């Protein structure tokens, strides 16, 4: 009887867990949930990669699903040509990296001012800054377009640089809030000690505040880079025909392809656009961001954990 009770208790601990330990059933549920969520996120990417290497015969063959019958790279050759990949990639990096750097630095300055200085109307100004995050950008397009036209900064990267410099770049309010929360955590005693040593506000900012906010800088820069990269609505309005980006090129991918590779009179389907070519162009467009994520993944995750951006 005692042995049976011991075996029953042991099985219960094994399957259900006990005293803070997870049992087998709970682990199965957790892993099944994580695998399911991971599959939902990875399925489109895996489908995109598999289809982009398929020839037209593989696309028409219902027996070919995930693994192409051959490594067909002509889709990427066509996509590179249609996207004008080299020059457009350089333009995309120019209009994303430079504004992201400026926006991150200015958000740090503004956030530090709100966090460390007390002045009349500070809370009202901070509320107005954060309110810009919830205002749809479409509401401000016409006034900004008129203003930028009067300043003669349309059709150039200045249409991105000026707002970023004055703390009004794409979603700048969220970055100001991140820096505001980060700089508020700096102990007052540390700042007072630096002032006793003769350091001014500018030196305290560069020597103490910036090193302690490295996590906020990484998060702000990476998020800013992604948002500037994916922005097509404002880019199409502000840049016109003078500048373009890979997402903008992807929007008109089909029309550009049909212009560069018109259908043959004999009805040769090999020159017509198909799903493999379209997905190859899509993958080439997001490839730089994927590379940046894989390179900076460790610092990105650590920075999010340290800055408390998740609300912890």
Q: Using the predicted structure, report yes or no on whether residue 311 has a pLDDT greater than 70.
A: no
Q: Do 48 and 282 meet the contact criterion of CB atoms below 8 Å apart?
A: yes
- Rounded Cα distance between 288 and 290, Å, is 5
Measured distance between the N- and C-terminal CA atoms of the chain, rounded to whole angstroms: 49
DSSP state for residue 21 in the 8-state scheme: P
DSSP assignment string, 239-297: HTTT---HHHHHHTHHHHHHHHSPPPTT--GGGS--HHHHHHHHHHHHHHHHHHHHHHH
> Hey, what are 119's tokens?
């002045």
Whole-structure pTM value: 0.81
By mean pLDDT, which of 94-103, 131-140, 177-186 is the weakest? Answer: 131-140
Is residue 71 very low, low, confident or very high in pLDDT (cuts 50, 70, 90)?
confident
Looking at the predicted structure, is the pLDDT value of residue 283 above 60?
Answer: yes
The answer on pLDDT for 124 being more than 60 is: yes
Report which of 41, 38, 62, 65 is spatially closest to residue 53, judged by C-alpha positions: 65
Report residue 264's pLDDT band, with 50, 70 and 90 as the boundaries: low
pLDDT of residue 172: 87
Average pLDDT, the chain: 81
CA distance 78 to 272: 11
* pLDDT on residue 289: 87
CB 273 within 8 A of CB 254: yes
Calpha distance 196→205 (Å, rounded) = 15
Average confidence (pLDDT) over 288-306: 73
Share of the chain above pLDDT 90, in %: 13
**CB contact burial 214-231 (16+ within 10 A = b; e otherwise):** ebbbbbbbbbbbbbbbbb
- pLDDT of the residue at 20: 52
Instruction: Report yes or no: 228 and 93 within 8 Å, Cβ to Cβ.
Output: no
Rounded Cα–Cα distance for residues 149 and 70 (Å): 52
The mean pLDDT of 238-245, rounded to a whole number, is 85
Residues 185, 187, 188, 190, CA torsion sign: negative
Residue 98 — pLDDT band, cuts 50, 70, 90? Answer: very high
Output the six-digit token pair for 30. Answer: 């957790």
Distance of CA 55 to the CA centre of its chain: 31
- The tokens for 104 are 């991150």
Local confidence band at 11 (pLDDT 50, 70, 90 cut-offs): low
User: Is the separation of the CB atoms in 249 and 163 below 8 Å?
Assistant: no
pLDDT at 257: 86
**180-225 residue pLDDT tens:** 888 888 888 887 787 777 777 788 888 888 888 888 888 889 889 9
Which range in 119-128, 156-165, 269-278, 302-311 is most confidently predicted, on average pLDDT?
156-165
Q: Which residue has the tokens 């926006």?
A: 103
**Residues 13-22 pLDDT 10s:** 555 555 555 5
């Amino acid at each position: 009887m005692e042995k049976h009770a011991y075996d029953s208790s042991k099985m219960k601990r094994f399957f259900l867990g006990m005293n803070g330990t997870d049992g087998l059933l709970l682990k199965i549920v957790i892993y099944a949930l994580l695998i399911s969520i991971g599959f939902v996120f990875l399925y489109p990417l895996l489908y995109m990669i598999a289809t982009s290497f398929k020839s037209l015969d593989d696309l028409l063959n219902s027996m070919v699903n995930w693994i192409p019958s051959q490594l067909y790279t002509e889709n990427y050759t066509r996509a590179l040509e249609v996207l004008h990949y080299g020059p457009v990639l350089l333009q995309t990096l120019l209009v994303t990296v430079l504004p992201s750097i400026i926006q991150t630095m200015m958000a740090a300055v503004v956030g530090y001012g709100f966090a460390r200085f007390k002045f009349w109307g500070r809370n009202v100004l901070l509320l107005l800054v954060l309110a810009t995050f919830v205002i749809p950008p479409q509401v401000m397009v016409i006034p900004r377009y008129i203003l930028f036209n009067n300043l003669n900064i349309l059709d150039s990267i200045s249409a991105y640089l000026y707002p970023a410099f004055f703390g009004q770049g794409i979603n700048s309010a969220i970055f100001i809030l991140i820096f505001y929360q980060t700089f508020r955590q700096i102990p007052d005693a540390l700042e007072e000690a630096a002032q006793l040593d003769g350091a001014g506000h500018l030196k305290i900012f560069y020597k103490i505040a910036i090193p302690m906010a490295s996590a906020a800088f990484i998060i702000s820069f990476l998020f800013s880079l992604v948002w500037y990269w994916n922005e097509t609505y404002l880019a199409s309005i502000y840049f016109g025909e003078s500048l373009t980006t890979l997402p903008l090129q992807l929007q008109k991918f089909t029309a550009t392809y049909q212009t560069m590779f018109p259908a043959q009179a004999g009805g040769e389907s090999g020159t017509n656009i198909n799903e493999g070519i379209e997905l190859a162009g899509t993958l080439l467009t997001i490839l730089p961001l994927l590379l940046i994520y894989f390179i900076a993944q460790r610092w990105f995750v650590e920075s999010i954990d340290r800055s408390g951006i998740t609300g912890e």
